[in-house]
Amino acid sequence: MVNVLVMGGTEFVGKSLVKGLISKGYIVDFLTRGNKKVDFQGHHKHLICDRKDHNALRRCLEGHTYDYIFDVSAYTCEDVELLLQSINKSSLKRYVFISSAAVYSPSHEFLNENSDRGENPNWGLYGEDKKEAEDYLFERYEKDELPIVIFRPTYIYGEGNNLYRESYFFHRLMSEKPLPVPNTDQSMVQFIHIKDVVEIVIHAITTEKTIGEAYNLTHSRKLSWMEIGSIVQYIVGKGKVMSVNQEKMDALNIKTRQFFPFRDVPILLTTTKLDEHLFLPRIDIEEGLKLSYEWFLKQNIKEKCHVFEQLERVVT
C-alpha cells in the first residue's frame, strides 16, 4: 500500500490531483478546511483542519504516515514549515510543492529553472511568498536531505477551473458580445492543461531524478492574448474578439484587470529540463480549450460583471 496526502482537494488543481492519484491506485487522504462539498469517491480519508492552526494541524495528522505528500494549498513559507513540523516524516519518499512561475523576476525572455528569482511587481506578495517557501525547502533538502520536488506552473486551465478565466471567454462569445483582449505588445504567455499537470506531477514521484529539483511546468507554445481569444472564438463558433490597446484603456481610465481575467505581462518558461527528466505536456491549447468548453456547457457558471459597457463604445 502506498499512502499519499494531498494538501487541498476540493478545488481545481487539488481536486484533479486527488482524483488522478485515486485512478492510479494510490491510497489517498486529503486535507482541507472543509468548506467545499466533496463530490467524488474513492479516497481514504478527508481530513478537515485549518493548516494555519499549528496545534489543530498536529492533532489532525497525529498517527498518520505518508509515502508522498503533494502540497497544493501552501502559499507561504510558514504554511510549509508548519506542515513539515506536524507530519511524521519517517516514511516520506517525496514532498511535492506546487509553486508558481510568479517566483521569477520580471523578464520578456524565456526563463529556465536557474533564472533569477525575486521581487516581481506584477505578482506582488504571491510570488515573493512562493519563493520564500521554495528557499526553505531547498534549505531543508541541503541540510536534512528532505526529498523535495518543486513545480513552477504558468497559467493552468481546463475542466473544473474555479477561477473565472476560460468561463469569461465563453460567456462573452456565447452571448455574442465583444470579447475585449489587451493588445499592448507586451505579453506572450504559456498555458498548461490540468490533465497534463496531474500526469506530470504524479509521474515525478516515480523517478529519483526529481529529488531536490525544481521544474518549469508549462506547454512550450507561446501565445498572444489575441491568438487565445481567436482560438476560443473558433471553438464557440460565434461572437467576435476585439483588440484593446493601451491608448484606449488610458482614455477611459481602465486597467486591464478590470475587463480581463489575466495579468497582461509576459510568462515564458523553458521546458528543456522537464523534457529531460520527465516528459512534456501533450495537450495543445486548441484541444484543451475544447475540453474546457465541453465541460463549461454542462455547468451553471454565472457570468460576472466587468466594465464592458464603457469599453464596448470604443471597440465596437
Helix (H) or strand (E) holding 126: helix 125-144
Distances (CA, A) of 161 to 10, 99, 283, 292: 11, 18, 16, 9
Residues of the chain with CATH 3.40.50.720: 3-156+191-217
In terms of CATH architecture, what is 163-188+224-264+284-315? Answer: Alpha-Beta Complex (3.90)
Fold entry, domain 3-156+191-217 = Rossmann fold (3.40.50)
The model's pLDDT over 65-120, given as tens digits with 9 standing for 90+, comes to: 999 999 999 999 999 999 999 999 999 999 999 999 999 999 999 999 999 999 99
pLDDT surpassing 70 at residue 171: yes
pLDDT surpassing 70 at residue 186: no
Mean pLDDT value across residues 206-231: 96
By CB neighbour count within 10 A (0-12 exposed, 13-18 middle, 19+ buried), where does 1 fall? exposed
pLDDT surpassing 60 at residue 312: no
Mean pLDDT of the chain: 93
pLDDT surpassing 90 at residue 54: yes
Mean pLDDT value across residues 31-55: 96
| Confidence at 232, pLDDT banded by 50, 70, 90 | very high
Q: Tell me the percentage of the chain whose pLDDT exceeds 70.
A: 96
| Confidence at 177, pLDDT banded by 50, 70, 90 | confident
pLDDT surpassing 60 at residue 265: yes
Rounded distance between C-alpha atoms, residue 297 and residue 167, angstroms: 10
User: In the prediction, which pLDDT does 255 show?
Assistant: 83
User: In the prediction, which pLDDT does 304 show?
Assistant: 78
Residues of the chain with CATH 3.90.25: 163-188+224-264+284-315
pLDDT surpassing 60 at residue 307: no
Comparing 34-48, 56-70, 273-287, 300-314, the range with the smallest average pLDDT is: 300-314
Residues 6+ apart with CB under 8 A from 143: none
Q: Does residue 137 contact residue 95 with C-beta atoms inside 8 Å?
A: yes
User: In the prediction, which pLDDT does 155 show?
Assistant: 97
The CA-based angle 279-285-289, given to 5 degrees, is 125
Q: Tell me the percentage of the chain whose pLDDT exceeds 90.
A: 84
User: In the prediction, which pLDDT does 113 show?
Assistant: 98
User: In the prediction, which pLDDT does 313 show?
Assistant: 53
pLDDT surpassing 80 at residue 314: no
Predicted structure pTM score: 0.95
User: In the prediction, which pLDDT does 110 show?
Assistant: 97
User: In the prediction, which pLDDT does 185 show?
Assistant: 65
User: In the prediction, which pLDDT does 316 show?
Assistant: 46
Grid cell at residue 257? 484587470
Mean pLDDT value across residues 38-51: 96
204 secondary structure, DSSP code: G
Mean pLDDT value across residues 283-291: 98
CA 62 to chain centre: 29
Grid cell at residue 82? 508548519
